[in-house]
Structure 1
Amino acid sequence: MAAHMKWKQELQVFCKANMAQVQRLTYELCAIPAPTGSEGRRAQFCLSYLRGHGASAYLDEAGNVVFPYACEGSGKVLVLAAHMDTVFPEGTPLGMREEGGRAFCPGIGDDTANLAVLLVLAAWFAQHAPRTRQGVVFVCNVCEEGLGNLKGTRALMRQWAARTGAFLSLDCTCEAVFHRAVGSKRYRVTAHTEGGHSFSAFGSTNAIEVLACLVQDIYALQVPQREGSTTTYNVGLMEGGTSVNAIAQRASCVCEFRSDDEACMAQMERSFEELFARARARCLSLEVELLGTRPAGKNVPAAAQAALAEVCVQAVQQAFGTRPRLASASTDCNIPLSMGIPSVCFGCLEGGGAHTREEWIKPASLGPGLEAAGLALCGLL
């Protein structure tokens, strides 16, 4: 018992004293582009960093950097993950700017600074070899953002789900602890019609009109109303046609629905399918391509999930001095939550402007952030 408490005390002392290390590592990582699906350079950096600190880390089939610590045998493990990818495409300028106590760089908060916290903690475990009650799988994962469709976590769970007792994702800011998964389905819908000249073929079906009617039908939907849950929909892109004097033969849109309730997800899927069928009757053909699907939580033990969330809330509150709210989000936790595994996400920083080129963090918040992550590990191990 004394040895068990000793390593926790040592880790907390380390976390309080190493904000500068996290900051330096964050800035180094920010300079390495990592668009979703093209995280290879950043993955190699993370792999080299961990191995350089004595960790037996490896790249898995999806491109995740994985460091299993004290995971021998068949006992339950804790997974601690942070994603390497950012939403910004190849070629995005990644210059760092500091001003007014803030550091600005695309992707710095989502999720680069959280990734730096994970790497520093994993390196500490590799170097100090604490005797924990269970193993920890440290993961720098790929493809969390957008149409990455959580590829990295899906691959990770194929290997580790049976042994995972709890899953923690370091993502977003310290303002909230995300304990419910927002599921989603995303579609590209393409309508094909006869088209023709806008004057001589007037009256022919216009593919843009078909999709305009579909969009109107989507926005007329009444979302399911279930206490404690939220359901939404959106049409984010539309394109089609060839010129102002041509009746469009082809048009497409990208749409989605989201919910933090599995039953509401199923109801929205039925509603969308009905609207697609209605649109299909208006044109020559209608293609519906499923671009991505993220599951909501399912059959997660309520008591275990609440206990995990409370450990994280207490850790963030102790480190930052303010109690984070409980909220829903779409994160890497969606996959383990859909498997009934208790999972929670929280961030190790103060910041804003996520997914914009003016994204920023407060570098001074990285110290409390490292402390919060360390406290969460101490509370769970």
Structure 2
Amino acid sequence: MVEDGRVVRIFENLVKIYSPSYKERFVAGYIKGYVEALGFLAYEDEAGKALGGDAGNVLVTIPGTADGPCILFAAHMDTVEPSGGIEPVIEDGVIKSKGDTILGADDKAGVAAMLELISVLEGKLLRHGPVHLAFTIAEEVGLEGAKHLDLSDVNVDYAYVLDSNGPVGTVVVGAPYQDSFEVEYTGRAAHAGVAPELGINAIVAASKAICCMNIGRIDEDTTSNVGTIEGGRAGNIVPAKVNLLAEARSIDPAKLEKQAHHMIECFKKGADETGAEVNIKRTRPYDGYLHSENDPVVKKVVDTMTKLGLTPRLIKSGGGSDTNVFNAKGISTVNLGMGAEDVHTDDEYVPVQELANMAQLLVELVKI
């Protein structure tokens, strides 16, 4: 069964491997070597080539030992920066980074739990249906690996992504749709001291748009943000070009459409009030999802958590994950808390017990 010490060793090995987005080659190699040493096949797809990365998604299938549901588990191999030279240390039952780096539990805690599951299933002592495991690339830069993952020939009954912060027991039943905006203002350059009246200030146009915009927490389902703004060449030149990136998110697609329309109108207003031109590119990086507590994928994991003595906590998230992509592909999926806290920061940590709890949860989910 689950060996706490083994899953901790797997996790420590994983976080020491440098694997930012598009550079997952060495962690993919570790996973493939681990899986193949246990006698299973690991298949790497062509997603890396399509995305300009050095590795593809890694897929593993564990044949069933009895008639039972087919379950898919997924976790991503890439991490955010700074992630070079991570040195994990354990203090008072908690794993954290010794230096000024992230820990990488997002999402190598999920990866470690999946490898521990494979270790348990290798003994063929459990009765279970088919198990598929997907280790994806480029999640942190727009869920790109999952988008390129072909699951058309996999008939999945339940799917679980192991990529939410919070204790094991957390079940993310809803996550937002997202619209992104690339906006370019074009004004007219002029000498700021000699003839400013001949110029059209693109920064002013962008500023007027932002000032009239509802930004931040719009309601319980909806958020918006202006994330970057770039423009201008010097303090004595009226700036002719400004580019900005913005987004809106909502679990409710109707609310998202309303917020997106509002933002577009503000972008246009900034141009109209200054005489600048504006070009607005709106894209949908991913769709959202929302499951009820009665959906089979939710009921199964809640019942299993309860059996293990864990406390199920159903939440909605403001962030996207591979879960969004799998649901959009028609695979009923929820995101599970993998035990980490303060992810994407130097203070990131994961309790040893949470790693063991996640691995045990996966074993119980597949067990007949």
Which residue pairs with 1:8 in the alignment?
none
Instruction: Note the alpha carbon deviations across 1:237-287, whole angstroms, 9 max, x for none.
Output: 222222222222222222111111223233333333333333454454434
Which residue pairs with 1:196 in the alignment?
190
TM-score by length of 1: 0.81
Instruction: Note the alpha carbon deviations across 1:152-206, whole angstroms, 9 max, x for none.
Output: 22222x3337623332101123262101122212223222211222222323221
1:266 paired to 2:260:
no
Give, as a single letter, the amino acid of the residue that structure 1 aligns with 2:232: G
2:59–2:134 Cα contact (<8 Å) kept: yes
> Which secondary structure state, in structure 2, belongs to the residue aligned with residue 333 of structure 1?
helix
Offset at 1:344?
A: 0.9
Which residue pairs with 1:286 in the alignment?
278
TM-score by length of 2: 0.84
Name the % identity: 23
1:36 paired to 2:30:
no
Which residue pairs with 1:21 in the alignment?
6
Partners of 1:162 and 1:53 in 2: CA distance = 22
Structure 2 alignment gaps of length 5 or more: 48-55
Compute the RMSD of aligned alpha carbons. Answer: 2.9
Instruction: Note the alpha carbon deviations across 1:285-334, whole angstroms, 9 max, x for none.
Output: 43434576111128x7x5763x3213223434454643324333422111
1:195–1:205 Cα contact (<8 Å) kept: yes
1:295–1:338 Cα contact (<8 Å) kept: yes
Partners of 2:6 and 2:137 in 1: CA distance = 23
Partners of 1:21 and 1:220 in 2: CA distance = 46
2:207–2:270 Cα contact (<8 Å) kept: no
1:209 paired to 2:204:
yes
Give, as a single letter, the amino acid of the residue that structure 2 aligns with 1:370: A
Aligned pair partner of 2:110 in 108, 111, 114: 114
> Which secondary structure state, in structure 1, belongs to the residue aligned with residue 347 of structure 2?
coil
Which residue pairs with 1:354 in the alignment?
343
Aligned pair partner of 2:94 in 78, 98, 102: 102
Change (3 A) 1:130 1:280: farther
Higher helix share: 1
2:217–2:223 Cα contact (<8 Å) kept: no
Offset at 1:357?
A: 1.8
Offset at 1:222?
A: 9.7
1:320–1:368 Cα contact (<8 Å) kept: no
Partners of 1:238 and 1:163 in 2: CA distance = 45
1:317–1:324 Cα contact (<8 Å) kept: no
Give, as a single letter, the amino acid of the residue that structure 1 aligns with 2:244: C
Partners of 1:268 and 1:220 in 2: CA distance = 10
> Which secondary structure state, in structure 1, belongs to the residue aligned with residue 139 of structure 2?
coil
> Which secondary structure state, in structure 1, belongs to the residue aligned with residue 159 of structure 2?
strand
Taking the TM superposition and a 5 Å limit, the aligned residue runs for 1:71-90 are 77-88=70-81
1:103–1:361 Cα contact (<8 Å) kept: yes
1:26–1:112 Cα contact (<8 Å) kept: yes
Partners of 1:332 and 1:161 in 2: CA distance = 18
Aligned positions, number: 349
2:202–2:276 Cα contact (<8 Å) kept: no
Which residue pairs with 2:51 in the alignment?
none
Aligned pair partner of 2:175 in 181, 186, 202: 181
Aligned pair partner of 1:330 in 320, 326, 329: 320
1:343 paired to 2:329:
no
Change (3 A) 1:100 1:239: farther
> Which secondary structure state, in structure 2, belongs to the residue aligned with residue 352 of structure 1?
coil
Partners of 1:292 and 1:48 in 2: CA distance = 36
Which residue pairs with 2:162 in the alignment?
170
1:372 paired to 2:361:
yes
Give, as a single letter, the amino acid of the residue that structure 2 aligns with 1:32: I
Change (3 A) 1:189 1:101: same
Partners of 2:134 and 2:253 in 1: CA distance = 27
2:173–2:335 Cα contact (<8 Å) kept: yes
Partners of 1:161 and 1:327 in 2: CA distance = 30
1:312–1:346 Cα contact (<8 Å) kept: no
1:86–1:110 Cα contact (<8 Å) kept: yes
